[in-house]
Structure 1
């Protein structure tokens, strides 16, 4: 029985320390500060109180029959008071723990919401960039198509002019044959005809090269 008063005193000291810690915890919570570290310290002290309370109850039950009736009643009330204090502190810690868990969930939900907003903004920026790129590609295609159409028109015009030149040359040869020009003059005209043919084909090749350069530049 001699160790019972010491255990009871230890239990009371732990109870007082826990109640003071709960007061500080409540003040921190009201101020909006973090209570995680304080909760860890209080839970460790509460574990000590549970262990001490169990020891008090065990020692009292072992020695209860040796004491007088008045002493048994006194220690019974003290043991019950320690148990009641421990239950009260447990409920207070559970309430604080529930609020802390709720705040942690709310913080996590806010962080997830912020992350989703950031991801949404990144997707919007990417879509805008892709839209700008598609617009640029479409404009390049339009410019290239216009260049191809222009080159096609030039080739068609050159082909048409070639046919006109051939018909004009044929009429001129017929006229020259009619008036009886010399064979040397006919050879000069023939060389001029060949030169015109080379000029025509050279222009066609140059146009194709220009189209290829335009296509390479815009694509």
Structure 2
């Protein structure tokens, strides 16, 4: 259960870094936004798994501490989610304003160029460059999505291993309790047997003493 809590803290640190890049404008790409969305989903899944384990905790003190940690994690998750939605809205508004400004600029720029053929050739080169940049950016984003998908898959594997270890410990504890009960039952049976042996021995001893006294005197 502690491993899940530590894993959730690492996920929060990663989310803080990603949201910081988005907020500072270092990276406002669609790839980063998709990565943040996937990180939020992974964090929520970790919190739910941690909550399920905490509900099965048999030690009250540990259970209360786990519930307190879960409450804090859920608050952090909600804050991350609200911050992400706010940043997405800000970026959307910025794109809308830029598009509006570009459209107004095109409307005002209606004069005929001095060299139309050169202008047309320049437009073709610019279009080719834009297409090349778009393809490069697409390849980069695909690599980012694949990398993030691998990270999410590794997180799922880690959570699965953690749950398996928790289940194994619970089974070991159950087996230990079963063994303790068996030992107690064996001791009780052996004590009862010793009691009857003692009573039988006492009767035989008393009878032998009575026989010796009766027949030899």
Q: TM-score range by the shorter chain?
A: 0.3 to 0.5
For the pair shown, the structure with the greater C-alpha radius of gyration is 1
- TM-score, length of structure 1 as denominator length: 0.45
The higher-RCO structure (CA 8 Å, 6+ apart) is: 2
